[in-house]
Amino acid sequence: MSFFHARPRRLRTTPAMRRMVAETRIHPASLVLPVFVQEGIDTPVDIVSMPGVQRHSLDSLAKVASDAVSAGLGGIMLFGVPTEEHKDPSGSYGVDENGILNQALRRVRSEVGDEIVIMADTCLDEFTTHGHCGVLDSEGRVDNDKTVQIYTNMAVAQAQAGAHMVCPSGMMDDQVESIRFALELDFHDVGILAYSAKYASAFYGPFRDAVACSLTGDRRTYQMDPANRREGSYEAEIDISQDADMVMVKPAGYYLDVLSDVARLSPVPVAAYQVSGEYSMIQAAGQRGWIDAENALRESVLCILRAGADVVLTYGAMELAGEK
Ligand code: PBG
Q: Which of 299, 314, 202, 308 is nearest to 259 (CA)?
A: 308
Q: For residues 142 and 115, give the distance between their C-alpha atoms in angstroms, rounded to a whole number.
A: 37
Instruction: With a cut of 80, say whether residue 22 has pLDDT above it.
Output: yes
Contact 78, 121 (CB under 8 A): yes
Q: Taking residues 255-283, what's their average pLDDT?
A: 98
Q: What is the DSSP letter of 133?
A: S
The domain locations on the chain are 25-321
Q: Which of 228, 216, 220 is nearest to 200 (CA)?
A: 220
pLDDT at 87: 95
Residue 130 CB neighbours (<10 A): 20
Q: Are strands 75-81 and 117-122 parallel, antiparallel or unpaired?
A: parallel
pLDDT at 216: 83
Q: Taking residues 213-234, what's their average pLDDT?
A: 94
Q: For residues 247 and 266, give the distance between their C-alpha atoms in angstroms, rounded to a whole number.
A: 8
CA of 283 to the centre of ligand 1 (A): 19
Q: Which atom of ligand 1 is nearest to the CA of 125?
A: 16
Q: Which of 80, 83, 85, 71 is nearest to 120 (CA)?
A: 80
pLDDT at 214: 79
Positions annotated as catalytic residues are 198, 250
Which backbone phi and psi does 255 adopt, to 5 degrees? -125, 35
Mean per-residue pLDDT of the chain = 96
Q: What is the DSSP letter of 230?
A: H
Query: Per residue in 160-175, pLDDT tens?
Result: 999 999 999 999 999 9
Which residues lie closer than 8 Å to 195 by C-beta, 6 or more apart?
Answer: 167, 168, 169, 170, 171, 248, 250, 273
Query: Considering only 3-7, 98-102, 141-145, which range has the smallest mean pLDDT?
Result: 3-7
Q: Is the pTM of this model over 0.85?
A: yes
Q: Taking residues 21-46, what's their average pLDDT?
A: 97
Instruction: With a cut of 80, say whether residue 151 has pLDDT above it.
Output: yes
Binding site membership of 235 for ligand 1 (Cβ less than 6 Å): no
Residue of higher predicted confidence among 100 and 214? 100
Query: What is the chain's Cα-based Rg?
Result: 20
Q: Where are the alpha helices (DSSP H) in the chain?
A: 15-21, 58-70, 100-112, 144-161, 175-186, 205-210, 230-241, 256-265, 276-287, 293-306, 317-320
pLDDT band at 324 (very low <50, low <70, confident <90, very high): low
Contact 67, 41 (CB under 8 A): no
CA of 160 to the centre of ligand 1 (A): 23
**Which class is domain 25-321?**
alpha beta
Binding site membership of 122 for ligand 1 (Cβ less than 6 Å): no
CA of 6 to the centre of ligand 1 (A): 47
Q: What angle do CA 63, 207, 80 make, to 5 degrees?
A: 50
Q: For residues 231 and 227, give the distance between their C-alpha atoms in angstroms, rounded to a whole number.
A: 9
Instruction: With a cut of 70, say whether residue 14 has pLDDT above it.
Output: yes
CA of 42 to the centre of ligand 1 (A): 24
Read off the amino acid at residue 33: L
> Burial level of 91, CB count in 10 A (0-12/13-18/19+)?
buried
Contact 77, 119 (CB under 8 A): yes
pLDDT at 208: 85
Provide, for the chain, the percentages of residues in helix, strand and coil under a 3-state DSSP scheme, each rounded to the nearest 5: 45, 15, 40
Binding site membership of 282 for ligand 1 (Cβ less than 6 Å): no
Binding site membership of 76 for ligand 1 (Cβ less than 6 Å): no
Query: Per residue in 178-219, pLDDT tens?
Result: 999 999 999 999 999 999 999 999 999 999 888 888 788 899
Binding site membership of 119 for ligand 1 (Cβ less than 6 Å): no
Which backbone phi and psi does 19 adopt, to 5 degrees? -65, -40
Q: Taking residues 216-237, what's their average pLDDT?
A: 96
Contact 198, 175 (CB under 8 A): no
Choice from 55, 133, 169 to test ligand 1 binding pocket (greatest atom count within 8 A of CB): 169
Binding site membership of 278 for ligand 1 (Cβ less than 6 Å): no
